[in-house]
Amino acid sequence: MSTANSKTRKAVAKRFKLTATGKIMRAHARRRHLLECKSAKRKRRLAKGIVVHNSDVSRVKRSLPFAFG
């Protein structure tokens, strides 16, 4: 009998990064296209990363089993 292997979801691994303090960072949405109508201030704000909300952390952790050893 074979046991189930833990596998990293590569789509999630590409979208989220782990900080040194253990927080999960992600990129803002709405900064890929249609940028002419957005102000420079808004585009600068969207360029920065943001910490994943507490309610979503457990789902990301399940998808990245080796990131949280």
Per-run averaged pLDDT (10 residues), the chain, 69 residues: 84 96 96 97 97 96 89
- pLDDT value of residue 68: 80
Query: According to the model, what pLDDT value does residue 19 have?
Result: 95
Q: How far is CA 8 from the centre of its chain?
A: 14
Q: How many CA atoms lie less than 13 Å away from 53 in the CB half-sphere? A: 3
Amino acid at 20: A
> What does the pLDDT read at residue 31?
96
Q: What is the CA 26 to chain-centroid distance, rounded?
A: 3
* Domains of the chain, start order: 10-63 (4.10.410.60)
